[in-house]
Structure 1
Amino acid sequence: MRRRKLRQHKVPCLVNMCTNRFTQLLEEHGTEPSSSVDYCILLKDYLSCLNDSFITCLAQLEFHSAITAANQNWRRFNCKKFEGKTISESECQFWGNEHLERRRHKRKDEYDEYENNFYDGDKPEEEMEYINSRNYDYNRKCAIFGHLHLNRFQTNVPENCAITGAYPLFDSRFLLVQVTIDESTEKFDGINGQFISKAVAVIVRPREGCVPIQQIYLADASDSGPITGTFQDGTNEIGEHRNKRSVKILVYEEGIRADVILYHLDTTVRIRKFGNKFLSVFIEASTKLLENQNDHHQICTHGCRRRNEFKGDTKIDQPCIRERSEIEE
């Protein structure tokens, strides 16, 4: 009796899928390599995924590197002691707690120092370098203001934007900041300028344990009265973990300025309203959030598609902050 030969199906090596899934889960939980329940459980899941592909990945150098590194971390962080425990799905993992505490105890004038440096443009070069580098390891700053000036995350060279329409300032898995730019009817140095005359949208996207559903904050320059202090659903905060909010909106300066503080992302979006004419935006983003950026064109990272750079020591001639008498008119 002839024995039938079973048909063999070739199973692909899934090492890349396992690694991508592991990386994604670490980001979603806000977990860093450490001797913790959350990290060790995710690492165990990663090892299980790799072991399932053991036979089909034997010839892949990438597989051996991945499983060696995973096993080393398992031993290094003594993950065996956490076996049998589970991740708390409801717990929000805050990024940069140490940095937040440091910022929370800073005086207001110290907190605003970097932002004010953008707006006045009068500080000496040495002082400017000190301010720019002081918190470099913690966060990056971007500002767009006036008619229409931009300082990007990775450069201190000011740019003059010559674009109109709706554009993302910053876009990531957890946060989108978008502005709508119009052309001014007033002439500056003989040409028309651009400014944020319509709206700034801050879209806070879901993140497990921190933000259950998407929330949208809108600021419109043409609205009479103070700047908006709530999301579209009427609330001004999101989430709670051990008496700490994930996100909170605070309004300052008699309704001229609103801060959307994303505690869980160690990030702040600050919006100022100048009369009923235009808005300015300042973003202080954690380096970890920048690592989660989407790939398409974003003004704070790539600059404006049409722009002019200021040459040499040229300063901004037109004031970016109007006098209070002008605002009240």
Structure 2
Amino acid sequence: MMLPLILLYLIGYETRVTTACSRLEACNSEFRTGLEVAGIQEPESSAPYCAELRAYSQCIKKANKACRGDLSFHTSTAVIDSLMKRFKCAQQNWGPPYKRPSVKPKSNSICSHQSNSEYVHCGIFGDPHLKTFTKSYQTCGAKGAWPLIDNKFLAIQVTNMPVINSSSATATTKVTIIIRRVPGCAEEKTFEATSDAPLRPFFVDSSYSTGPEGSVQMKASINKTEKVEIYLRYIDTTLVVRRVGEYLGFSCRLPWDIAKIREENALELCQTGCPGTELLDIASSRGHRLSWETALNKCKQDMDLETGVRNNLTDQYLDWCVFDVMTTGKNEFVSTAHLAQEDVLYMDPSSLRNRTFPLDLNGIPKPSSAAISNVTLNLQVTAVVDRCGRNVVHAPAYEGAPQVGRVAIKVPPIWENRIPVL
């Protein structure tokens, strides 16, 4: 069971999952509306909440024939079952399900984005680690100020500073978001976050929205961690800034036709990744504040005690967590990894491969520059052995629009015998 997905509902995310199955979109909208009508702001073990879950389940079951080939359909079904068990809905005397008319999207809603484009995700956190729109996974030095996105709608910049003097690793200490003016939909707004102060739930002019019908909205949550979410309806874009201890993290989800807008030769980390001179090899650049075994034990805990997030770190997020904790010795980086993966589960769940075996950072020799050039093309990749025993490296396609498929590349000899068999 993918427990992190339960958190999408537990912490009150407004679900904006785009899927080819229109019936599933309607069910998602009906569920959100039902919670609002019932006055339910947080999950609870109550008859009204369980009634909404049951209505949601019945709605989705009606879409089984049309949506059974859709990943979001199966994910939603699993999440509902887990929520109903978690809140003991079988013991609730919930009565008949609440009936409401289907929610249909407004075809001519003012300042709403209409597109069939695929949605993409970019995120940065930790020392810092970057996932680009094209699913390139990198660890970068990148000290100072760097642009993540810079187009006619948005300018987003992060500032990274060294975490310790003995390492080339840095961490994000400032995030600046500029929402550019779009006549009729938004006035220019600026949001700033620094790691040495609590996140402010408003723009620098003290407002928290702009545009007709709130076409730009901000909401904040402060529980065990701090989070600010900004939604731009006219480009259907979600921006998330998190603060954990002394460090910041950032994630965004937007349509590809918006994400690909950029000036020719412009440097945008979410588009192009970090320059080659800023890339770090996590095997050779790791620190030694903690041993690999100790760091791994901290990162393998299925519940982060600092944030309350319950999930299992996988893929690059597990490797990056171990790297950060080995380098700094700080538990904050366990929390940032959990929260970064939680954002990916919300914004780009299909990008995760659920690899649970970690990269052994104890004694891996640094591959030659030729091997790195031939295999990764400046991408951090996940190496596996397929069921036929052939050594391959799975890497995302990276030219043009994002693609779902993966390409297989021969593993260089230096990596042989270091790859666990699935």
1:168 counterpart residue number: 147
Residue 309 of structure 1 deviates from its aligned partner by: 5.6
- C-alpha distance after superposition, 1:4-29 (max 9, x if no partner): xxxxxxxxxxxxxxxxxxxxxxxxxx
1:49 counterpart residue number: none
Q: Aligned partners of 1:250 and 1:186: how far apart in 2?
A: 36
| Contact 2:147 2:156 (C-alpha < 8 Å) held by counterparts | yes
- C-alpha distance after superposition, 1:281-311 (max 9, x if no partner): 0011112312433331100111111113668
Change (3 A) 1:218 1:251: same
Q: Aligned partners of 1:230 and 1:179: how far apart in 2?
A: 18
- C-alpha distance after superposition, 1:28-68 (max 9, x if no partner): xxxxxxxxxxxxxxxxxxxxxxxxxxxxxxxxxxxxxxxxx
| Contact 1:100 1:266 (C-alpha < 8 Å) held by counterparts | no
Structure showing greater radius of gyration is 1
Change (3 A) 1:217 1:307: same
Change (3 A) 1:143 1:101: farther
Q: Aligned partners of 1:271 and 1:282: how far apart in 2?
A: 7
- C-alpha distance after superposition, 1:138-167 (max 9, x if no partner): 310001001111110002x42110111111
Aligned length: 194
**1:288 and 2:257 matched:** yes
- Residue 149 of structure 1, aligned match among 125, 129, 132: 129
- Residue 227 of structure 1, aligned match among 192, 195, 199: 199
| Contact 2:117 2:257 (C-alpha < 8 Å) held by counterparts | no
| Contact 2:202 2:218 (C-alpha < 8 Å) held by counterparts | yes
Change (3 A) 1:303 1:256: same
Question: Aligned AA for 1:307?
Answer: L
2:182 counterpart residue number: 207
Structure 1 alignment gaps of length 5 or more: 1-95, 110-129, 325-329
Q: Aligned partners of 2:268 and 2:247: how far apart in 1?
A: 21
Question: Aligned AA for 1:170?
Answer: I
**1:268 and 2:234 matched:** no
2:274 counterpart residue number: 304
Question: Aligned AA for 1:315?
Answer: D
- Residue 239 of structure 1, aligned match among 211, 230, 251: 211
| Contact 2:191 2:202 (C-alpha < 8 Å) held by counterparts | yes
| Contact 1:163 1:181 (C-alpha < 8 Å) held by counterparts | yes
1:68 counterpart residue number: none
Question: Aligned AA for 2:234?
Answer: H
2:319 counterpart residue number: 315
**1:195 and 2:167 matched:** no
1:40 counterpart residue number: none
- Residue 192 of structure 2, aligned match among 218, 233, 247: 218
| Contact 1:100 1:263 (C-alpha < 8 Å) held by counterparts | no
Matches within 5 A, 1:95-106: none
Residue 273 of structure 1 deviates from its aligned partner by: 0.2
Question: Aligned AA for 1:167?
Answer: W
- Residue 227 of structure 2, aligned match among 257, 264, 272: 257
| Contact 1:167 1:179 (C-alpha < 8 Å) held by counterparts | yes
Structure 2 length normalisation: TM-score?
0.41
Structure 2 alignment gaps of length 5 or more: 1-17, 33-41, 44-70, 76-115, 284-314, 326-331, 337-422
Change (3 A) 1:287 1:323: closer
Change (3 A) 1:220 1:208: same
Q: Aligned partners of 1:181 and 1:196: how far apart in 2?
A: 4
* Alignment root-mean-square deviation, CA: 3.5
Identity %: 21
- C-alpha distance after superposition, 1:218-263 (max 9, x if no partner): 111111xx311111110000112xxx31101110243600001111
Question: Aligned AA for 1:205?
Answer: R
Structure 1 length normalisation: TM-score?
0.52
- C-alpha distance after superposition, 1:173-218 (max 9, x if no partner): 011111111111265xxx3411112x2111000112101x311011
Match of 2:206, SS? Answer: coil
Match of 2:271, SS? Answer: helix
Q: Aligned partners of 2:27 and 2:158: how far apart in 1?
A: 30
Question: Aligned AA for 2:171?
Answer: F
- C-alpha distance after superposition, 1:68-110 (max 9, x if no partner): xxxxxxxxxxxxxxxxxxxxxxxxxxxx9x899787667899x
Question: Aligned AA for 2:241?
Answer: I
Matches within 5 A, 1:10-159: 137-155=117-135, 157-159=136-138
Question: Aligned AA for 2:250?
Answer: V
